[in-house]
Amino acid sequence: MAPKPRTKYPHLPPRMAEHRYTNRRGETISYYFYEHPRDTKGKRPLTKLGTDFPEAKKKWAELEGLSKSHQQRIAAFTLTIVYERYMRWANDRSLSNLEPRTIRDREQYWKELGKAFSQIPMDKLEPTWMLGYFEKRSAKTSAKKEIKFLSTLCNWARARGYMHIPNPVTGTTRQMPVSENRTIYVTNEEYALVHECGDELVRNVLDFAYLCGLRPAEALSVQWSDVRAGELYIRLTKTRKRGVPIKRIPVEGTLKRLLDKIRSRPVIAPTILADERGQRLSQFGTFRYRFRKARDAAEQRARERGIPFQRFQFRDLRAKSGTDKEEQEGMEATRRFLGHATEKQTRAYVRNLKGERVTALRTPKSRSDLP
């Protein structure tokens, strides 16, 4: 008699059960069991299969009485199995050395990748599928990032013996014509409009990130204890490995006035940027809602005034800050300000946003002036 279709955990074979629990560190652990027929008392005996899914499927196949060749096919490493093992490794930051934002981004990439590739064995992946996946996705930039993460998974699996064929992604991303770099420069008028339409919290966050040239995660994590001896010490998350790990900014002028205004609030939090209750801000909570509300109002106001407006994101302020810094103090000062390792990196960064400044050709006074 065929087993009835599963409504829970449909990825499991018949008579295999999965019990999940979350430990103190917030990790979800899965235990697998084999469900035997009910006994005379109506109870269903369970046989423990362990926490390792491939090994659990092997034991399940043995209990089912399947052949050795069938057992080997059952236990093949699918992309889901490799992803789960990869994330356990990634979350152990002493091993992976990955930043929390990188881990969170890759969890988001998997939400789309899993829909297409979750149950495919690693050794069955084909290069032609990559371009097909990219072409079917409407969000091309996200699709290319997801395929690159799939390449990371394949390399990780090959190094650990979970995959034996060459990386199927190699060379395919060159056929995906999309730029992953943002090229938006926020004009002074656009910045002023959002600043005008935002509440005090939005204005403080925008001003602090712009004045210090910070990424969103850096701006929201700076604490009052980082202000020492008249300087603000800022730990840079992205460039700390190859560029500048910490930068110091003198607390003076506009920055000092901003910090004094924030410090005068009734409730002071450990972090410089916080809400009215003293709660630390995140990129995806209160601030995001208020910023979007201010941006929508600014866009409407720009439309009424008949002026152009770009729906820029919070992260675009760092690019504006660096570009404005270069116009004021030059390229080397901007390199140190942004924490870049080389001036070449800064030069390309600034030029791509606002264009390279050149002078016009002088008009010859007469034919004899021409070369």
First to last CA, the chain: 94
- Residue 11, in any domain of the structure: no
**Do 27 and 120 lie in a common domain?**
no
Residue 278 · residue 271 · CB < 8 Å: no
CATH number for the domain spanning 138: value is: 1.10.150
Angle at the Cα of 186 (from 183 to 187), degrees rounded to 5?
130
From 126, 141, 175, give the residue that closes a domain.
175
- Residue 367, in any domain of the structure: no
Residue 361 phi, psi dihedral angles, 5° rounding: -70, 135
276: region left, alpha or beta (phi > 0 left; psi from -120 to 50 alpha): alpha
**Do 88 and 148 lie in a common domain?**
yes
Give pLDDT, residue 66.
Answer: 57
From 127, 153, 175, give the residue that closes a domain.
175
- Residue 311, in any domain of the structure: yes
From 47, 74, 101, give the residue that closes a domain.
74
- Residue 224, in any domain of the structure: yes
Query: 12-21 pLDDT, tens per residue?
Result: 888 888 888 8
**Do 161 and 280 lie in a common domain?**
no
Token pair recorded at residue 107:
């969890």
Q: Higher model confidence: residue 43 or residue 142?
A: 142
Give pLDDT, residue 259.
Answer: 94
Token pair recorded at residue 228:
């020492």
Give pLDDT, residue 21.
Answer: 82
d(CA 10, CA 116): 16
Rounded to the nearest 5 percent, the helix, strand and coil shares of the chain are 50, 10, 40
Query: 210-262 pLDDT, tens per residue?
Result: 999 999 988 999 999 999 999 999 988 776 556 678 889 999 999 999 999 99
Token pair recorded at residue 300:
């409407």
Specify the number of domains making up the chain. Answer: 3
d(CA 66, CA 266): 70
**Do 201 and 95 lie in a common domain?**
no
Query: 253-295 pLDDT, tens per residue?
Result: 999 999 999 999 888 889 999 998 888 888 878 899 999 999 9
Q: Which residues pair with 48 in a beta bridge?
A: 33
- Residue 360, in any domain of the structure: no
Residue 335 · residue 346 · CB < 8 Å: yes
192: closest CA among 43, 305, 336?
305
**Do 95 and 65 lie in a common domain?**
no
Please report which confidence band the pLDDT of residue 67 belongs to, taking 50, 70 and 90 as the band edges: very low
- Residue 304, in any domain of the structure: yes
List helix spans (H) across 118-223. Answer: 128-136, 140-159, 188-197, 200-212, 216-221
Give pLDDT, residue 1.
Answer: 46
**Do 153 and 22 lie in a common domain?**
no
311: closest CA among 230, 199, 194, 138?
194
Q: Which residues pair with 29 in a beta bridge?
A: 21
Q: Name the maximum alpha-carbon separation found in the chain.
A: 112
**Do 61 and 112 lie in a common domain?**
no
Residue 298 · residue 194 · CB < 8 Å: yes
Residue 149 phi, psi dihedral angles, 5° rounding: -65, -35
Give pLDDT, residue 89.
Answer: 94
**Do 141 and 23 lie in a common domain?**
no
Q: Higher model confidence: residue 26 or residue 328?
A: 328
226: closest CA among 246, 243, 209?
246
CATH number for the domain spanning 231: value is: 1.10.443.10
- Residue 24, in any domain of the structure: yes
**Do 225 and 140 lie in a common domain?**
no
**Do 289 and 243 lie in a common domain?**
yes
Domain that residue 299 falls in: 188-354
Query: 74-131 pLDDT, tens per residue?
Result: 456 889 889 999 999 999 988 898 888 899 999 999 999 998 888 888 888 999 999 9
**Do 201 and 334 lie in a common domain?**
yes
**Do 107 and 235 lie in a common domain?**
no
Query: 312-371 pLDDT, tens per residue?
Result: 999 999 989 999 999 889 889 999 898 888 888 888 777 666 667 777 877 666 655 555
d(CA 222, CA 217): 9
Helix (H) or strand (E) holding 316, with range, is helix 316-329
- Residue 10, in any domain of the structure: no
The full length of the chain comes to 371
